[in-house]
Amino acid sequence: MTEKGAAAPADSGGPARRLRGLPARGLSSMGLSLRGRLLLITTALLVAGLVVSSTVAIAALRSHLVSRVDRQLKPLAALLARVAPEAVPPTSQESGRAALRMLPGMDILDQVHIVYLAPDGTSQYQTSLVARGQGQGPRLPALDAGVVAQLGGRPFDVPGPSSGAPNWRVVAVPRAAQQSPPNRALPPEDGGAEDGSAEDGSAEDGGAEDRSTESGSVVVAASMEGVRSTLTRLALVCLVTLIVLIALLAVIGWFAIGRGLRPLRGIEETAAAIAGGDLSRRVPDLAAPGTEVSRLSAALNGMLGQLESAFTSREASEARMRRFVADASHELRTPLFGIKGFSELHRMGGLPDVDRAMRRIESEAGRLARLIEDLLLLARLDEGESAPPMELAPMDLRTLAVDAHHDLQALDPARRIALTGPDGGLPGKAPVHGDEARLRQVTANLVGNAVAHTPPGTPVRIGVGMAGDEAVLVIEDTGPGMTAEQAARVFDRFYRVEDSRSRAAGGGAGLGLAIVSSIVTAHGGRVDLRTAPGRGAAFRVALPAVPDPAVPDPAISDPAVSDSAP
Q: Dump pLDDT digits (tens) for 196-215.
A: 333 333 333 333 334 434 56
Residue length of the chain: 566
Listed in sequence order, the residues at least 6 apart from 148 whose beta carbon sits closer than 8 Å to its beta carbon are 117, 172, 173, 174, 217
**Can you give the pTM of this predicted structure?**
0.46
**For 207, which DSSP code?**
S
Per-residue CA distances from 550 to 119, 175, 229, 467, 523 (Å): 129, 127, 110, 20, 20
pLDDT in the model for residue 365: 83
- Asked if omega into 388 is within 30° of 0 (cis), the reply is yes
Q: Dump pLDDT digits (tens) for 54-72.
A: 999 999 999 999 998 888 8
Give the pLDDT mean for 178-188.
50
For residues 177 and 525, the model is more confident at 525
Residue spans of beta strands (DSSP E) within 342-428? 393-396, 417-420
With a cut of 90, say whether residue 540 has pLDDT above it. Answer: yes
Residue-by-residue DSSP string for 185-205:
TS--TTSS-S-GGGTTSHHHH
For residues 554 and 483, the model is more confident at 483
Give the pLDDT mean for 25-41.
72
pLDDT in the model for residue 204: 39
Question: Are 189 and 98 spatial neighbours (Cβ–Cβ below 8 Å)?
Answer: yes
pLDDT in the model for residue 518: 87
CA 342/CA 363 separation, integer angstroms: 12
Question: Which amino acid, 483?
Answer: T
pLDDT in the model for residue 4: 42
pLDDT in the model for residue 527: 94
Percent of the chain clearing pLDDT 90 (strictly above): 20
With a cut of 60, say whether residue 388 has pLDDT above it. Answer: no
Q: Dump pLDDT digits (tens) for 96-138.
A: 667 666 766 566 666 788 889 998 888 888 887 765 444 567 8
CA 308/CA 282 separation, integer angstroms: 11
With a cut of 50, say whether residue 474 has pLDDT above it. Answer: yes
Give the pLDDT mean for 377-388.
65
For residues 114 and 511, the model is more confident at 114
Ordered by where they begin, the domains of the chain are: 30-188+209-260 (no CATH), 277-389 (1.10.287.130), 391-562 (3.30.565.10)
Per-residue CA distances from 149 to 73, 153, 163, 175 (Å): 17, 8, 30, 11
153 burial via Cβ count (<10 Å: 0-12, 13-18, 19+): middle
CA 118/CA 124 separation, integer angstroms: 6
For residues 9 and 230, the model is more confident at 230
pLDDT in the model for residue 356: 76
For residues 480 and 382, the model is more confident at 480
With a cut of 90, say whether residue 240 has pLDDT above it. Answer: yes
Q: Dump pLDDT digits (tens) for 336-366.
A: 877 888 787 777 776 677 777 788 788 778 8
Give the pLDDT mean for 76-82.
86
pLDDT in the model for residue 346: 73
Residues 510-520 as b or e (16 or more Cβ within 10 Å = b): bbbbbbbbbbb
CA 37/CA 44 separation, integer angstroms: 10
In this prediction, residue 502 has a pLDDT band, given cuts at 50, 70 and 90, of: very low
Give the pLDDT mean for 491-505.
61
Q: What is the CA radius of gyration of the chain?
A: 57
**For 392, which DSSP code?**
-
CA 370/CA 372 separation, integer angstroms: 5
Average pLDDT of every residue of the chain: 77
Residues 187-224 as b or e (16 or more Cβ within 10 Å = b): eeeeeeeeeeebeeeebbeeeeeeeebeebbbbbbbbb
Give the pLDDT mean for 377-403.
78
Question: Which DSSP helix (H) or strand (E) runs through 225?
Answer: helix 225-260
Q: Dump pLDDT digits (tens) for 271-315.
A: 888 888 777 778 777 667 777 777 887 888 888 888 888 888 888
